[in-house]
Amino acid sequence: MKTKLFLFILLLTFSLSSNAQKKVRLNKSERILKGKEWVLDTLQYHKINNVKADGNIIYFFDRDSNQKDKLAYSKKANPEIFAEVVYGFWLVEKKNLILKQWDYDLGEELEPEVYEISKLTKTTLLIKNKNGTFFPFFKK
């Protein structure tokens, strides 16, 4: 009886500890993006789109600090002046970067933004939105 109880407690402890350590598996694109700051290349943005960029944008992609089974991002707009920061969850499916911004007031995710990844290397990220606007980023 003591042996069965011991085994049950051991299995329960192992099960709980393995669930606590569960992390999301990253695909190749997610591994390249994760843990780095990606800065909008405003000169390239202007050359590609023939439009001046409104300001600078910085993305930081990583794992969520509270929920290890999710990937989280932060987006800073105009960090030199008055930084507007948004947070959310992200993932890469096929050739799409999907950003799900979190709305703290509503306590829920907003409609996802989907960008097509045109180019991704260890130092360069080029994405295109549904309107056909390209956003070139470089790794900081």
Tell me, what's the pLDDT at 114?
98
Is the per-residue pLDDT at 21 higher than 60?
no
If you search the block for the tokens 């909008």, which residue do you land on?
Answer: 40
CATH number for the domain running over 26-139: 2.40.128.280
Q: Where are the domains of the chain?
A: 26-139
Tell me, what's the pLDDT at 51?
93
Model-level pTM greater than 0.85? no
Question: Which one, of 51, 55, 92, lies nearest residue 76 by Cα?
Answer: 55
Q: What is the pLDDT of residues 28-80, one digit of tens each?
A: 999 999 999 999 999 999 999 999 988 899 999 999 988 888 999 999 998 77
> What is the secondary structure of 37-67 as a DSSP string?
EEEE-HHHHHHHHSS--SS-EEEEEEE-SS-
Gap between the Cα atoms of 102 and 113, Å rounded? 12
